[in-house]
């Protein structure tokens, strides 16, 4: 099984920008922690970061047939991108939206997510630990899908 982690604009600046909101941890450190959990769970993981909306859309589309699930922090595009929303909906892969900060405790314009309605769930406000929670959740979702597929195959063999 493979999970693709997609990081949106300015997340490459973690550890440097607004530490009072996002904390001191760098994106590479978050990815290292996610990699450790993925290895423990026998999951392949791939990371992608872009500040460009079109590149994020392209990466989501590339996941179709290549990945089993997506974890995405669309960052500022959360509140504005119909294109990212449509790409997630089109690929029909389990997707979890992640945010380091609690977007609902911040400026009002951050309270609306264009992405959340097409995702399996949203995790926000737990700092970098939000990514770990997303990994645990995605592994559970993928395990449930696999179990359901195996049960359907077993049922078909009996017929």
Query: What residues does each domain of the chain span?
Result: 2-158
- With a CB cutoff of 8 Å and minimum separation 6, the contacts of 1 are 42, 43, 44, 68, 69, 142, 146
- With a CB cutoff of 8 Å and minimum separation 6, the contacts of 85 are 114, 115, 117, 118
Instruction: Please provide residue 45's backbone torsions phi and psi, each rounded to the nearest 5 degrees.
Output: -135, 140
Kindly indicate the confidence band of residue 144, based on its pLDDT and cuts at 50, 70 and 90: very high
pLDDT of residue 102: 87
pLDDT tens-place string over residues 90-127: 999 999 999 998 888 777 877 889 999 999 999 999 99
Per annotation, catalytic residue among 22, 77, 131, 132: 22
Would the CA dihedral through 58, 132, 17, 29 be positive or negative?
A: negative
Count of CB atoms situated within 10 Å of the CB of 46: 15
pLDDT of residue 89: 98
**CATH numeric code, 2-158:** 3.40.50.9100
- Rounded-to-integer distance, Cα 38 and Cα 29, Å: 14
pTM, two decimal places: 0.92
Least confident of 70-79, 98-107, 129-138: 98-107
pLDDT of residue 7: 98
Q: Is 132 a catalytic residue?
A: no
Q: Is 111 a catalytic residue?
A: no
DSSP β-ladder status, 2-7 and 44-49 = parallel
Per annotation, catalytic residue among 77, 99, 131, 132: 99
């Amino acid at each position: 099984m493979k999970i693709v982690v997609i990081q949106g604009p300015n997340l490459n600046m973690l550890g440097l920008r607004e530490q009072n909101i996002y904390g001191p941890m760098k994106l590479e450190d978050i990815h290292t922690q996610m990699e450790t959990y993925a290895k423990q769970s026998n999951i392949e993981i791939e990371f992608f970061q872009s500040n460009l909306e079109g590149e994020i859309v392209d990466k989501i589309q590339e996941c179709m047939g290549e990945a089993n699930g997506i974890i995405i922090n669309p960052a500022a595009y959360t509140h504005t991108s119909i294109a990212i929303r449509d790409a997630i909906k089109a690929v029909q892969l389990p997707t979890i939206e992640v945010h380091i900060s609690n977007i609902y405790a911040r400026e009002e314009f951050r309270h609306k997510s264009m992405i959340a309605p097409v995702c399996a769930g949203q995790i926000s406000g737990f700092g970098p630990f939000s990514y770990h929670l997303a990994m645990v959740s995605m592994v559970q979702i993928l395990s449930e899908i696999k179990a359901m597929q195996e049960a359907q195959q077993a049922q078909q063999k009996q017929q």
